[in-house]
Amino acid sequence: MKKILFSLLLSAGAYGAYAQEVVITAKLDKAPNDTLVQLFEPYTGEFDTVRIVNHSFTIKRPMPKGGSIYVLAIGKQGEKGATLLYLESGKIHISGKGPYFENARYSGDVWVKEWQEMMALMDPEKGDGKKQNELMESINKAMKVGDEDAAEKYGKEYKEVTERLQNAYRNWIKQHPNSGVSAYAATVFFNGQKEFDEIFAGLGEHAIASRIMQRRLHPGKVDPSPMTLKFGEPGEAQGTLGKVKVGDMAPTFSVPDANGKMVSLADFKGKYVFLDFWASWCGPCKPQIPYLKAANDKYKDKNFSMIAVSLDSKKEAWINAVEKHGINWTNVCSMKGWADETIASYGASYIPFNVLIGPDGKVLAMGLYGEDVEKKLAEIIK
């Protein structure tokens, strides 16, 4: 802002106790009294608030739609005062000696332990997560000085690390097929349709029934109004999701670049356009960047252009991420987060998300990830 195998009997018993309410209790020894605590559902902006009393707080929230990801934040302390949580019906207790969530302990129902295991796998400061970030920085540095050999070397290592992480997520899901946390991992780390279908086929009823998975399977129906988060106040409505599909005319848009110049789809009329939605804070977006770079380098002189539409709400974070990751194609951002009208018009409920548009303005493909990007381009651009 950890790994235990449970028997099927134990899991079934734990998941069966479905009271449709989550109870969050916390005791943080130095938590500032009378400070506002907020619980957000990032997709919709639903939120609950309480204040800290005696360095403790309790939040009860109905969970009629099943498990989902939430942000729990104390005051306005940024990452130090916030933690990402998977929540579903049941109980979770947070305890720690500090004022916020750093080094805190999490206990409660089965899904609490499972979420901690997943957080350990995703940790960007340890193991392959840290290695992945370090290799991305090395790739960017090599590219800046034109050292193609070094960039290629680091790129191969990056791919190997990414594959190891993917395998770790895949193995965890296989070991926890009925966990709502598996539904989260399936929707975040396996966006290629073939990979996603393979993972989905092994999931249990509880995982499939989660709010996360149902939102992926039925975009715009489970939660029809995505929101952008603003600490201290409700988010802003994104509006009605579009229902774009292959063969449709791509919705038009006009979004400013870093200098405030408006960039429109019409500016690329007669070209193949790869529209990529991402954000600086989006962890799953980062592994896609090398594949996008490879595709852009190969096809940029063949009547092809890429447009990266960021869902950032802070310009500095956006600009720094573009520079850090060497995203050297067209970059635009409305600074509206999930309230951006462009992603709403394309019907996306998650990122990374992308759309390939033909010279005639029609949608040719959607949701291309990893090697599928270049494969699809090779099919249509000769």
Q: Which of 175, 24, 8, 18 lies closest to 92, judged by CA?
A: 24
Query: Rounded to whole angstroms, how far apart are CA atoms 177 and 171?
Result: 10
Let me know: does 272 contact 304? Beta carbons within 8 Å: yes
Answer whether CATH 2.60.40 is correct for domain 21-106. Answer: yes
Tokens of residue 256, six digits: 């400013």
pLDDT of residue 112: 97
Q: What does the DSSP 8-state code read for residue 277?
A: E
Q: Kindly report the CATH class assigned to 248-380.
A: alpha beta
Q: What are residue 92's DSSP bridge partners? A: 24, 108
Q: What is the mean pLDDT of the chain?
A: 83
Matching residue, tokens 């309790």: 58
Distances (CA, A) of 224 to 108, 214, 235: 31, 12, 14
At position 120, the amino acid (one-letter code) is A
Q: Could you read off the pLDDT tens digit of each residue along the chain, which spans 382 residues? A: 433 222 222 233 333 334 589 999 999 999 999 999 999 887 777 888 999 999 999 999 999 999 999 989 998 655 558 899 999 999 999 999 999 998 999 999 999 999 999 999 988 888 888 888 888 788 767 756 667 677 778 888 888 888 899 899 999 999 999 999 999 999 988 867 788 899 999 999 999 999 999 988 887 788 764 443 333 222 233 333 446 788 889 999 999 999 989 999 999 999 999 999 998 877 778 888 888 999 999 999 999 999 999 988 888 888 988 988 899 999 999 988 877 888 888 877 778 889 999 999 999 998 888 888 999 999 998 7
* DSSP-based three-state secondary structure for 104: coil
Residue range(s) of every CATH 2.60.40 domain in the chain = 21-106
Write the single-letter amino acid at 197.
D
Kind and range of the H or E run holding 229: strand 227-230
Residues of the chain with CATH 3.40.30.10: 248-380
What are the residue ranges of helices labelled H in 231-370?
289-299, 315-324, 341-345
- Bridge partners (DSSP) listed for residue 309: 277, 332
Task: Cite the beta strand spans of 281-329 per DSSP E.
Answer: 304-310
CB 55 within 8 A of CB 242: no
If we measure between CA atoms, which residue out of 288, 111, 73 comes closest to residue 206? Answer: 111
**CA atoms of 104 and 243, how far apart (whole Å):** 42
Q: By the 8 A CB rule, do 87 and 81 touch? A: no
Q: Are strands 90-96 and 21-28 parallel, antiparallel or unpaired?
A: parallel
Residue 332 and residue 317: Cα distance in Å, rounded?
Answer: 13
Structure tokens of 114? 């499972």
Give 198-251 pLDDT, tens digit per residue.
999 999 999 999 999 998 888 778 876 444 333 322 223 333 344 678 888 999
Phi/psi zone of residue 80: left (φ > 0), alpha (ψ -120 to 50 degrees), beta? alpha
pLDDT of residue 229: 33
The whole-angstrom separation of Cα 101 and Cα 381 is: 50
pTM above 0.85, yes or no: no
Strand partners, 331: 308
